[in-house]
Amino acid sequence: MSSAASDTQSTIEQLKTRHDVKIKNARILVVEDSDLIRELIGACLMTDGYFNISYAENGQDALEVIELQVPDLIVLDLEMPIMDGFELCKELRSRQSTASIPILIQSGRDTAADITRAFDLGATDMIVKPIKKFEILARTKVHLEHRFFVEKLTDFHDRVASELEQARQLQLDICPSKEELISFHSLYGLRIGWHYEPSSELGGDIGGIYPIDENRIAFYIADFSGHGVAAALNTFRMQTWLSSSANLYSSPDLLLKALNQFLYQSLPRGSYATMLFGCLDLTNNVLEYSAAGTQPPLLKQSSAPFDLFSLFESKGMPLGLRPDWDYALNIVDFPIGAQLILYSDALVEVDLTDGGFLGEKGLEQEVNEIWKTHHEHSPTKCLSELIDRFHRRAGSNANDDLTIIHIKNEGQANDV
């Protein structure tokens, strides 16, 4: 046997030994009013190496023992004075601290009605008197192993849930805070609505806003392929790169070209991101943006109520698929009163009642319908209505991350 194989075998043996020791150290409570049967059960268990055994003569005594130390398994008689096994089962299952303890009932009453009642009240398994050593030992081992396996899974789940929540909070921290959005309005005259919700604990959507100087501000929306942890890690990777690339914020086409090269070298083959990166020049009221296969933005270029939102160009190779790709630079007017809506594909891929998708044209129509109804109110009202409609359609079945960014040019502070 090779050294590596020998080490592996040794590790397996050590893990098996620790597991066996944990099983034998399990706390077992025997609840039985007969002294003879109580001692018999205890003797059977001890011959197989179980030594951490407690005893009680009835259900009431058992509750007092459990108050001092919660057992890993209960061997329970059904017929006892003061509080019988049926009552004890019911009581234990009503308490959070004892609800999951395996209860192995043992009784001479083996009628269908008794068995059904015992299991309805929470019994885990049953052995029939007279006690057979091989049977009680086999069932004891099975239920203890199951309990410790479930306990390990629960601990693992709790740890993963805690770590996912921390990662989710980090992802939410990437989004601008309410305070930052308010400051962008006072500094640049931009009223910005922002909505982000992952389909699960973590998502592949990401967006951000980067002030360049007193007259220019950059922003972006991106969506990585996939969901969950892998997609979320890629959002952190992108955010780190963007944070160190401030010199490219005013040149969206060059930024996407460089970012595409970085992601092509960093992502697993087949993984990619769609993205729109824009720069607003609020001195000249001009929007410059480049797109990499993201959803077409909705743009309204005047403050007139009758002027509507229209879909604008967003074609471009998704990031990370091919190296050395050039991206087009789009330049459009963005005067005071103009509005821009960016969104992830979840918004247009939501199911309609007729079985189809909303689609980009459907979204354009819906946004204009909302605008006609709520244009006298703040953009926040329009954004809220758009989100409400999405939730009514998707219900609890949303299977993709949703990001919506709404930007309105209300004029810089010194122009208002």
Task: DSSP letter for 293, please.
Answer: B
Please tell me the distance from the alpha carbon of residue 362 to that of residue 204, in angstroms, as a whole number. Answer: 24
Q: Judge contact between 174 and 234, C-beta under 8 A.
A: no
Given this model, what pLDDT does residue 398 score?
59
What is the phi/psi pair of residue 168, to 5°?
-65, -40
What is the phi/psi pair of residue 284, to 5°?
-100, 0
Given this model, what pLDDT does residue 12 score?
43
As beta bridge partners, residue 319 has: 273
Given this model, what pLDDT does residue 373 score?
81
Provide mean pLDDT across the span 364-387.
Answer: 82
Given this model, what pLDDT does residue 159 score?
74
The domains located in the chain, with CATH, are 3-159 (3.40.50.2300), 175-415 (3.60.40.10)
Burial class (CB in 10 A: 0-12, 13-18, 19+), 384: middle
Given this model, what pLDDT does residue 414 score?
44
The two three-digit tokens of residue 203, written as one number: 């998502």
Given this model, what pLDDT does residue 327 score?
97
Q: What residue has token string 């020049």?
A: 281
Q: With the CA atoms of 358, 360, 364 and 365 taken in that order, what torsion angle do they form, in degrees rounded to the nearest 10?
A: -40
pTM to 2 decimals? 0.65
Name the band, by pLDDT with cuts 50, 70 and 90, for residue 147: confident
Q: Judge contact between 316 and 290, C-beta under 8 A.
A: yes
Given this model, what pLDDT does residue 98 score?
92
Given this model, what pLDDT does residue 102 score?
93
Please tell me the distance from the alpha carbon of residue 172 to that of residue 351, in angstroms, as a whole number. Answer: 27
Given this model, what pLDDT does residue 9 score?
52
Given this model, what pLDDT does residue 406 score?
93
Name the band, by pLDDT with cuts 50, 70 and 90, for residue 305: low
Sheet containing 330-333: order of strands: 205-211, 216-224, 273-281, 286-292, 330-333
Residue 29 has pLDDT above 80, yes or no: yes
Residue 303 has pLDDT above 50, yes or no: yes
3-state secondary structure of 276: strand
Given this model, what pLDDT does residue 415 score?
45
Please tell me the distance from the alpha carbon of residue 228 to that of residue 164, in angstroms, as a whole number. Answer: 10
Q: Judge contact between 220 and 208, C-beta under 8 A.
A: yes
pLDDT 10s digits, 319-360 = 999 999 999 999 999 999 999 999 998 888 877 766 678 889
Cβ atoms within 10 Å of 397's Cβ, excluding its own: 9
pLDDT 10s digits, 96-119 = 999 989 999 987 766 778 888 889
Given this model, what pLDDT does residue 164 score?
64
Residue 160 has pLDDT above 80, yes or no: no
Q: What amino acid occupies position 413?
A: A
Count of H-run helices and E-run strands, the chain: 12, 15
Name the band, by pLDDT with cuts 50, 70 and 90, for residue 378: low
Q: What residue has token string 């329009």?
A: 382
Name the band, by pLDDT with cuts 50, 70 and 90, for residue 91: very high
Q: Considering only residues 198 and 207, tell me which one the structure prediction assigns the higher pLDDT.
A: 207
pLDDT 10s digits, 43-88 = 999 999 999 999 999 999 999 999 999 999 999 999 899 999 999 9
The two three-digit tokens of residue 219, written as one number: 């922003």
Quote the mean pLDDT of the chain: 86
Please tell me the distance from the alpha carbon of residue 243 to that of residue 235, in angstroms, as a whole number. Answer: 12
Name the band, by pLDDT with cuts 50, 70 and 90, for residue 1: low
Query: Which residue, among 139, 146, 145, 137, has the nearest Cα to 42 in the 3D structure?
Result: 137
Name the band, by pLDDT with cuts 50, 70 and 90, for residue 18: low
Cβ atoms within 10 Å of 351's Cβ, excluding its own: 13
110: CB partners within 8 A, 6+ apart:
128
Please tell me the distance from the alpha carbon of residue 63 to that of residue 84, in angstroms, as a whole number. Answer: 12
The two three-digit tokens of residue 401, written as one number: 């991350």
Q: What residue has token string 């049953």?
A: 126
Cβ atoms within 10 Å of 306's Cβ, excluding its own: 7
Burial 120-155 (b: 16+ CB within 10 A, else e): ebbbbebbeeeeeeeebbebbbebbeebeeeeeeee
Q: What residue has token string 């992502």?
A: 267
3-state secondary structure of 313: coil
Name the band, by pLDDT with cuts 50, 70 and 90, for residue 250: very high
Q: What amino acid occupies position 333?
A: D
